[in-house]
């Protein structure tokens, strides 16, 4: 069961910070006086106590009611079967709440370094996303299931939606790390990733170094030399670029 401390904190925080008005499609539905099938929250909680929490969860994860409950998106809430456990995300959410409670209980054992103790909330990790993954992990999943081009298209979608909001690190290191994931399997595909990173961060010596490496592993020594030179032009202390250029020039001498 959710601890009283966490339950109280969630209720107050989500009510005051995350509350949003219920849409017109929900006008014919009202929160039940006695909700059914409560397993994490106290069983005697009324619907009015659940309302700010449920609305807060949708905001923290950037989802709608149908993400966890049995119901069809766009249909009135009166058609939903809220007590049902058919949607597997409902039990995932329960376990996440239990985990959240455990973390906050454990945090009490840690002497805090600021003027107040740090608390964990759903939004701490999710920040408007159903699955709290790094940008590198998101792109890696897209690549494994769909390929490199859909992964790069997804990067553009995520950047348009989340840039400046904090859920993802859109700095050069995320694309660079993803590029090295791809490089292990497909150097030619990795070239496309590193080319995008170079276009995003043209003043970085490291992105050109990575692009040169991908070209070298794909067998294009001319392009590799060109981009190692570009890397050195931006970072004269890049010893790797110097070593690789010497290696390329040495292979030509042979």
Residue ranges matching CATH 1.25.40.10 in the chain: 135-253
CA atoms within 13 A on the CB side of 87: 17
Q: Where are the alpha helices (DSSP H) in 63-131?
A: 88-107, 122-125
Give the model's pLDDT for residue 5.
45
Give the model's pLDDT for residue 67.
95
Task: For residue 135, count CB atoms less than 10 angstroms from its CB and return exposed for 0-12, middle for 13-18, buried for 19 or more.
Answer: buried
Give the model's pLDDT for residue 28.
74
3-state secondary structure of 74: coil
In tens, the pLDDT along 183-233 reads: 999 999 999 999 999 999 999 999 999 999 999 999 999 999 999 999 999
Using an 8 Å Cβ cutoff, are 26 and 73 in contact? no
Mean pLDDT of the chain: 89
pLDDT for 81 beyond 90: yes
Q: Cα(93)–Cα(100) distance, rounded to whole angstroms?
A: 10
Q: Which pTM value belongs to this model?
A: 0.79
Region 124-146: what's the mean pLDDT? 95
Distance of CA 16 to the CA centre of its chain: 25
Q: Would you say the C-alpha torsion 236, 239, 243, 244 has a positive or negative sign?
A: negative
Q: Cα(69)–Cα(57) distance, rounded to whole angstroms?
A: 12
- Residue in 248, 191, 193 with CA at minimum distance from that of residue 221: 248
- Residue in 251, 237, 172 with CA at minimum distance from that of residue 210: 172
- Residue in 178, 216, 215 with CA at minimum distance from that of residue 200: 178
pLDDT for 101 beyond 90: yes
Give the model's pLDDT for residue 10.
54
Highest mean predicted confidence (pLDDT) among 102-111, 118-127, 207-216: 207-216
CATH number of 135-253: 1.25.40.10
Provide DSSP, 46-85: -HHHHHHHHHHHHHHHT--GGGTSBS-TTS-GGG-BTT--
Q: What is the DSSP letter of 70?
A: B
Q: Cα(38)–Cα(122) distance, rounded to whole angstroms?
A: 19
Helix, strand, coil % over all residues of the chain, rounded to 5: 60, 0, 35
Q: Cα(75)–Cα(41) distance, rounded to whole angstroms?
A: 26
Q: How many residues does the chain have?
A: 254
In tens, the pLDDT along 3-25 reads: 554 555 454 444 433 334 444 44
Give the model's pLDDT for residue 166.
86
Q: Cα(212)–Cα(221) distance, rounded to whole angstroms?
A: 9
Cα R_g (the chain), whole angstroms: 25
Q: Cα(34)–Cα(22) distance, rounded to whole angstroms?
A: 20
pLDDT confidence band for 141 (50 / 70 / 90): very high
| Planar angle of CA 177, 180, 181, nearest 5 degrees | 90
């Amino acid at each position: 069961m959710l601890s009283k401390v966490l339950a109280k904190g969630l209720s107050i925080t989500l009510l005051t910070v995350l509350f949003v008005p219920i849409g017109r499609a929900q006008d014919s539905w009202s929160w039940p006086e006695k909700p059914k099938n409560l397993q994490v929250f106290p069983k005697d909680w009324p619907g009015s106590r659940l309302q700010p929490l449920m609305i807060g969860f949708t905001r923290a994860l950037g989802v709608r009611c149908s993400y966890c409950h049995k119901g069809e998106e766009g249909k009135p809430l009166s058609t939903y079967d809220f007590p049902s456990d058919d949607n597997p995300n409902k039990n995932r959410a329960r376990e996440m709440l239990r985990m959240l409670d455990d973390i906050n209980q454990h945090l009490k054992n840690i002497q805090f370094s600021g003027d107040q103790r740090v608390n964990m909330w759903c939004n701490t990790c999710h920040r408007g996303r159903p699955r709290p993954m790094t940008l590198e992990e998101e792109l890696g999943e897209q690549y494994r299931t769909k390929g490199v081009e859909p992964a790069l298209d997804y990067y553009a979608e995520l950047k348009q939606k989340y840039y400046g909001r904090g859920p993802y690190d859109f700095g050069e290191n995320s694309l660079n790390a993803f590029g090295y994931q791809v490089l292990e399997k497909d150097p030619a595909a990795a070239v496309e990733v590193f080319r995008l990173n170079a276009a995003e961060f043209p003043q970085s010596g490291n992105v050109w170094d990575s692009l040169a490496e991908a070209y070298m592993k794909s067998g294009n020594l001319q392009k590799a030399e060109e981009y190692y030179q570009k890397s050195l032009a931006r970072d004269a202390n890049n010893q790797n670029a110097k070593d690789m250029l010497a290696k390329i020039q040495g292979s030509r001498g042979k």
